[in-house]
C-alpha cells in the first residue's frame, strides 16, 4: 500500500503539471456596425420586456402557456436536452478514476489419461481501479465539446420556445383579423340586401330602371361569395393553432378584438452587439463553434501517447473459509502510443479543422443574417404604423363618401352605379384597415422575435 500511495502522489503531480494541447477558443472577428437600422438606438433593450408584458390579451397569454407546455416540438426539444445533459455527465466522468468490484468463483477439473482426476477450486473478491491520465488534454477537450453540445441544445430549445411564442401570437392575431373581416363582410351583406330591396321598391315605383335592380342583385351575390371563403380561412387557421397547442380541439377561444389589441409605440432594440447575447440562435451557433474547436483539440491530442493505470485489490483463495485471510493486489501502468496508422490520425485532425472552419463561416453567416433581419424588422414595424394611420384616414373618408352617395341616390342626384362605387370603396377600405392593423401587430411580433425578446432567465 505504501507503493500505491507513492504512485498516486506521482500521478497527481503529473496531472497538476499536465498541459492541454490545442488552441483555446476565441470568438471570430464579426465586424458588426455600430448601430442597427437608423435611429434605432435606445437606452433600454428588449430584455426589459417579457412576452406577457407585450401580449396583454389574457386569452393569448393562456394559449402561449398551453403551447409551451404541450407543443410536441417543445417536448421533443426537452427530451433532447436530457440526452445531451447525460452526455455531458458521461464526458465529465471520463476524467475520474473508474472503480469496479467482482466476485469470481470457479472449479477446474483435469483428468489426464482418464484415471488421474484433479479438482481445483478458486475464489476471488476484488476491486479494480482504472484511470486514464489526461496528460495532453484529450479528455478535457472531449468534456468541453460535450458541454458546448449541451449548451447549444439548450439554446436551440430556447430558440424553439421563442418561435412557438411568435407563431402562436401570429396565428392568434391572424385569426381575430379574419373574424373581424368576416364581421365586416356580414355587415356589408346586410347592407347589400337592404340596397337590393330599396332598388326593387324604386323600380316598382317607376323611379329607376331594372338595370339598377340587377346591379344590386349582382353586388349582393358577389358579397355572399366572400363568406364561405373567409369561413374556410378561419377553420384552417384554427387547425394551425391546434397543432401549435398540441391538441385535437380546433375550437379556439378569442379575447380582444383586433382593434382593441395594445401596441407599443416602439420596441427597445439596443446595440447590435447585444444581439449576440440576446438571440438564442446566435448563442447556439457559437456553442457549435466552440464544440467544433474542442473536437480539433481531441483530434490533435489523439496523436499523443495515452497513459492508463490499473490497480486491483482484494482476496483470493481456493477455500471459501480462508478467502478473507488471503490478500491480493497489483498495480500496473500502460503506455499506448500511435506509431503508424497510414496517416489516419493526421487526416482526422484535418477533417476536424475543416469542420471548425465551416462552423466559423456558419456563425458569421448567422450573425449577418440576424443583423439584416433586425434592420428589416425595425423598418417594417415603423412603416406598418404609418400604413395603419393612412388606412384609418382612407376608411374615414370612404365612410363619409358612402353616406353622401346614399343621400344623393335617394334624392335622385346620382345613379345606383355611383352608389355601388361608394359602397365598394368603403368595403375595401374597411378590409384594408383591418388588414393593416393585423400587419402592424404581426410586425410587432416579428420584431420582438428577431430582437431576441422573450423572458429573462
Q: What is the mean pLDDT of residues 351-374?
A: 92
State percent of the chain over pLDDT 90.
38
pLDDT value at residue 37: 65
Architecture of domain 19-99+136-305+342-450: Up-down Bundle (1.20)
Name every residue whose Cβ is closer than 8 Å to that of residue 2 and which is 6 or more positions away in sequence.
none
Residues 192/197/202/206 CA torsion (nearest 10 deg): 120
pLDDT score recorded for residue 115:
75
Query: Looking at residue 276, what is its pLDDT?
Result: 79
Q: Is 90 exceeded by the pLDDT of residue 48?
A: no
Write the DSSP assignment of 257-294 as a string of letters: -GGGS---S------TTHHHHH-HHHHHHHHHHHHHHH
Instruction: Give the N- to C-terminal CA distance of the chain in Å, as an integer.
Output: 51
Comparing 77-86, 190-199, 276-285, the range with the smallest average pLDDT is 190-199
- The predicted model gives 139-160 an average pLDDT of 91
Rounded to 5 degrees, what are φ and ψ at 218? -60, -45
Q: Among 4-8, 142-146, 265-269, 321-325, whose mean pLDDT is lowest?
A: 4-8
Distance CA 284, CA 281 (A): 5
| pLDDT value for 113 | 72
> Average pLDDT, stretch 114-142?
81
Distance CA 445, CA 450 (A): 9
Q: Is the pLDDT of residue 1 over 70?
A: no
Residue 286 has pLDDT above 90, yes or no: yes
**Domain regions of the chain by residue span:** 19-99+136-305+342-450
pLDDT over 90 at 63, yes or no: yes
Burial of 386 (0-12, 13-18, 19+ CB in 10 A): exposed
Order of strands, edge to edge, in the sheet holding 306-317? 98-111, 117-133, 306-317, 327-336
User: In the prediction, which pLDDT does 380 show?
Assistant: 92
Give the H or E element holding residue 425: helix 416-450
Is the separation of the CB atoms in 125 and 323 below 8 Å?
yes
Q: Is the pLDDT of residue 366 over 50?
A: yes
What average pLDDT does this structure show over 233-255?
91
CA-closest candidate to residue 136, choices 297, 13, 290, 11: 297
> Is the pLDDT assigned to residue 249 strictly greater than 80?
yes
Report pLDDT for 21.
79
Which range (9-13, 60-64, 141-145, 424-428) has the least confidence? 9-13
Neighbours of 75 (CB within 10 A): 12
47-56, 62-71, 200-209 — most confident range: 62-71
Band (pLDDT 50/70/90 cuts) for residue 17 is very low
Decide which of 108 and 395 is more confident.
395
pLDDT in tens, 201-243: 877 877 777 787 888 888 889 999 999 999 999 999 999 999 9
Strands (E), 97-235: 98-111, 117-133
pLDDT in tens, 413-443: 888 888 888 999 999 999 999 999 999 999 9
What are 21-32's pLDDT values in tens digits? 778 888 888 877
Q: Is the pLDDT of residue 3 over 80?
A: no
Q: Give the rounded percent of residues in the chain with a pLDDT score beyond 70.
A: 91
**Whose CA is closest to 217, among 195, 186, 185, 248?**
195
pLDDT for the residue numbered 76: 92
Mean pLDDT of the chain: 85
Amino acid at each position: 500500500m505504501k507503493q500505491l500511495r507513492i504512485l498516486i502522489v506521482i500521478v497527481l503531480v503529473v496531472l497538476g503539471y499536465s498541459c492541454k494541447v490545442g488552441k483555446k477558443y476565441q470568438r471570430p472577428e464579426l465586424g458588426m456596425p455600430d448601430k442597427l437600422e437608423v435611429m434605432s438606438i435606445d437606452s433600454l433593450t428588449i430584455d426589459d420586456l417579457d412576452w406577457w408584458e407585450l401580449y396583454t390579451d389574457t386569452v393569448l397569454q393562456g394559449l402561449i402557456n398551453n403551447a409551451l407546455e404541450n407543443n410536441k416540438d417543445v417536448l421533443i426539444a426537452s427530451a433532447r436536452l436530457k440526452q445531451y445533459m447525460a452526455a455531458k455527465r458521461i464526458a465529465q466522468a471520463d476524467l475520474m478514476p473508474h472503480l469496479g468490484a467482482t466476485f469470481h468463483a470457479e472449479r477446474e477439473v483435469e483428468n489426464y489419461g482418464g484415471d488421474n482426476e484433479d479438482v481445483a477450486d478458486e475464489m476471488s473478491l476484488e476491486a479494480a481501479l482504472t484511470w486514464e491520465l489526461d496528460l495532453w488534454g484529450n479528455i478535457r477537450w472531449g468534456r468541453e465539446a460535450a458541454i458546448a453540445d449541451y449548451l447549444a441544445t439548450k439554446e436551440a430549445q430556447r430558440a424553439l420556445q421563442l418561435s412557438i411564442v411568435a407563431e402562436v401570437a401570429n396565428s392568434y392575431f391572424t385569426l381575430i383579423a379574419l373574424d373581424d373581416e368576416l364581421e365586416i363582410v356580414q355587415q356589408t351583406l346586410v347592407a347589400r340586401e337592404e340596397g337590393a330591396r330599396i332598388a326593387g321598391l324604386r323600380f316598382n315605383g317607376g323611379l329607376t330602371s331594372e338595370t339598377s335592380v340587377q346591379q344590386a342583385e349582382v353586388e349582393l351575390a358577389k358579397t355572399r361569395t366572400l363568406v364561405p371563403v373567409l369561413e374556410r380561412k378561419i377553420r384552417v387557421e384554427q387547425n394551425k393553432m391546434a397543432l401549435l397547442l398540441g391538441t385535437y380541439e380546433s375550437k379556439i377561444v378569442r379575447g380582444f378584438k383586433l382593434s382593441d389589441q395594445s401596441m407599443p409605440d416602439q420596441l427597445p432594440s439596443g446595440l447590435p452587439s447585444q444581439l449576440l447575447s440576446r438571440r438564442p440562435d446566435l448563442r447556439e451557433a457559437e456553442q457549435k463553434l466552440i464544440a467544433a474547436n474542442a473536437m480539433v483539440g481531441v483530434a490533435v491530442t489523439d496523436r499523443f501517447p495515452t497513459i492508463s493505470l490499473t490497480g486491483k485489490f482484494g482476496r483470493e483463495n481456493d477455500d471459501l473459509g480462508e478467502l478473507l485471510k488471503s490478500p491480493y493486489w497489483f498495480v500496473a501502468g500502460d503506455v499506448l502510443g500511435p506509431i503508424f496508422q497510414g496517416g489516419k490520425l493526421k487526416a482526422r485532425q484535418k477533417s476536424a479543422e475543416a469542420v471548425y472552419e465551416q462552423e466559423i463561416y456558419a456563425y458569421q453567416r448567422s450573425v449577418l443574417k440576424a443583423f439584416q433581419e433586425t434592420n428589416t424588422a425595425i423598418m417594417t414595424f415603423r412603416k406598418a404604423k404609418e400604413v395603419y394611420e393612412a388606412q384609418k384616414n382612407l376608411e374615414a373618408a370612404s365612410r363619409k363618401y358612402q353616406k353622401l352617395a346614399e343621400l344623393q341616390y335617394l334624392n335622385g342626384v346620382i345613379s345606383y352605379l355611383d352608389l355601388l362605387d361608394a359602397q365598394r370603396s368603403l368595403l375595401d377600405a374597411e378590409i384594408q384597415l383591418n388588414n393593416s392593423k393585423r400587419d402592424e401587430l404581426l410586425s410587432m411580433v416579428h420584431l420582438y422575435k428577431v430582437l431576441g425578446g422573450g423572458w429573462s432567465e
